[in-house]
Amino acid sequence: MTSHGNPIGPTPRTKVRRLSARGSYDRDVIHAILDEALVCHVGFVDEDQPVVIPTIHVRIGDRVYLHGSNASRMLVRLREGVPACVTVTLLDGLVLARSAFHHSMNYRSVVIFGRAEETKGREKKMEVFEKLVEHVVPGRWADARRPSDEEINATTLVSLPITEVSAKIRCGPASDDEQDYSLPIWAGVIPLELRAAPPLADEKLASSIATPDYVTAYSRHRTKSPLVLGPVASRTAKG
């Protein structure tokens, strides 16, 4: 997958080296992956030890925001402006090739290198918190009790620019060695999806409070782009 349309970079550090046909520097592709993902994995170094922590993110324009308790080691380090890496991975399927060697996964991932900057100020932080809640559950912000000043102050908010960035995508069918296609071995893709199950209302919830539409309809928010399955999307399983 090569750049097209709306490119960012690549820079020498973000150029996809391995299987570079899978690399993309297209802004729309990168943004779509960041927007679909519910968690990212943040890498930073603490006393010479790389640390990778899962956390929630939200993209706003050309920046990705992370937040957490003021006491979080990750936020303390990020706020200092240390080199960081934010990686997002969407798993789309298991690729069963005829050979064990060519087994793979279909996925879409984004890797961002950069240094974080802290976001300060009540209004600006509130704006980002709204986008963060809406990123995870669209429609929720209007219902939830808004953060108090105390809660805003207890939360550290930082962001990284989405400039040193690359996406890597594998989609479509298995790719076997030519001579293996004649082997009598099933091959194909098992698509994977992150799906919402029916919501579980809180035990302490008054029975008069109805489940909001944005909760019951949640699974519909995570619709996949045609990008996901590529050329195998229109095929069906053989019996």
Q: Is 185 in the site for a second copy (CB under 8 A)?
A: yes
Q: Is 186 in the site for a second copy (CB under 8 A)?
A: yes
Q: Which residue, 167, 164, 162, 113, is CA-closest to 2?
A: 167
Nearest approach, Cβ of 186 to a second copy (angstroms)?
5
Nearest approach, Cβ of 206 to a second copy (angstroms)?
7
Q: Is 200 in the site for a second copy (CB under 8 A)?
A: yes
Specify the residue, 96 or 227, whose C-beta has the smaller distance to a second copy: 96
Specify the residue, 6 or 20, whose C-beta has the smaller distance to a second copy: 20
Nearest approach, Cβ of 196 to a second copy (angstroms)?
5
SS3 assignment, position 113: strand
Q: How far apart are CA 12 and CA 76, in angstroms?
A: 29
Q: Which of 23, 32, 57, 113 binds a second copy (CB under 8 A)?
A: 113
Q: Which residue, 27, 201, 175, 11, is CA-closest to 98?
A: 175
CA atoms within 13 A on the CB side of 155: 20
Specify the residue, 122 or 146, whose C-beta has the smaller distance to a second copy: 146
CA atoms within 13 A on the CB side of 63: 16
Q: Write out the binding residues for a second copy, residues 144-163 only, by CB under 8 A.
A: 144-148, 151, 155
Q: Write out the binding residues for a second copy, residues 206-225 only, by CB under 8 A.
A: 206-212, 215-216, 218
Compute the radius of gyration of the chain from its Cα atoms: 21
Q: Write out the binding residues for a second copy, residues 2-61 only, by CB under 8 A.
A: 13, 17-18, 38-39, 41-45, 48-54, 56
Nearest approach, Cβ of 63 to a second copy (angstroms)?
18
Residues 6 or more apart whose CB falls under 8 angstroms from that of 101 comprise: none
Q: Write out the binding residues for a second copy, residues 160-179 only, by CB under 8 A.
A: 173-174
Q: Which residue, 230, 220, 219, is CA-closest to 196?
A: 219
Cis-peptide, bond into residue 10, ω within 30° of zero = yes
Specify the residue, 5 or 209, whose C-beta has the smaller distance to a second copy: 209
Q: Write out the binding residues for a second copy, residues 64-103 only, by CB under 8 A.
A: 69, 71-73, 83-87, 89, 91, 94, 96-101, 103
SS3 assignment, position 125: helix
Q: Which two tokens stand for residue 4?
A: 């097209």
Write phi, then psi, for 232 (nearest 5 degrees).
Answer: -90, -5
Specify the residue, 25 or 218, whose C-beta has the smaller distance to a second copy: 218
